[in-house]
Amino acid sequence: MTAADTPAVELRHVAKSFGTRRVLDDVCLVVPQGRAVCILGRSGTGKSVMLKHIIGLMQPDSGHVFVQGRDVTLMDRRELSRTRQQIGLLFQHAALFDSISVGENVAFPLRRHSTMSSGEIRDRAEHLLAQVQLAGEYDKMPADLSGGMRKRAGLARALALEPAIVLADEPSAGLDPVTAAEIDRLLVELNDRAGTTLVVVTHNIPSARVIGDELVFLHEGRIIAQGTAEALDDSDVPLVRQFMQSEGAG
């Protein structure tokens, strides 16, 4: 298998429980390089837990998680740190540091993981902010931004190290339809322009239709449907069809 054929992300028979509650139950998923996959399902079905396994914030009770062909579940702290530098994470609530400026939030991964000079870091952060329509906002504090602007700043930070993979947890949650569409467009452009692999957790069916090459429906810890939006529209599982007919589900 060549590097191009190696999946960007792969979950093999992953299981995770919290107490007696089985959150992931024998989950198998392959995300090819450069593809955009949206994870759908009701609240509490394990979607965000799946993302945390991919980035190594959680360990499965059984099964394995691979990123770029390497088993995350077997990595030591140093290997995991290197792997995480290949992954950008857009948190559900952007998770910006309140005590530093928007620009310094974007610069933070560069200051920590690159050998760039301060001037180069500032230039790179300003360029990223401009890409997400936040040009000139470097010195503003996160509290001065709207929810949509914080999400865009969070996306700029996720892209700072030019990751091969971006994980996005509910990128349009809490946003008005116009702002949500802006976030969708930025993610699609990222996938189209840079070939970045996307794994997006969302309740927003219109967003999933725009972003996803493939949709995966998770229910009670198991994948019960997988395919294009059109395939899920015609699923023989009533819950999946009902979900796909909604404007915003979950």
pLDDT tens track, the chain, 250 positions? 556 689 999 999 999 999 999 999 999 999 999 999 999 988 878 899 999 999 999 999 999 999 999 999 999 999 999 999 899 998 877 788 889 999 999 999 999 888 899 999 999 999 999 988 899 999 999 999 888 888 889 999 999 999 999 999 988 888 888 888 888 998 999 899 889 999 999 988 999 999 999 999 999 999 999 999 999 999 999 999 999 987 654 4
Q: For 40, phi and psi rounded to 5 degrees?
A: -110, 165
pTM: 0.90
**Alpha-carbon dihedral 103, 104, 106, 107, rounded to 10 degrees:** 120
Structural domain boundaries in the chain: 98-161
pLDDT of residue 182: 87
Alpha-carbon span 136 to 126, nearest angstrom: 8
pLDDT of residue 46: 87
- CB neighbourhood size of 184 (10 A): 21
pLDDT of residue 179: 85
pLDDT of residue 36: 97
pLDDT of residue 250: 43
Alpha-carbon span 215 to 113, nearest angstrom: 33
Alpha-carbon span 238 to 103, nearest angstrom: 46
pLDDT of residue 5: 83
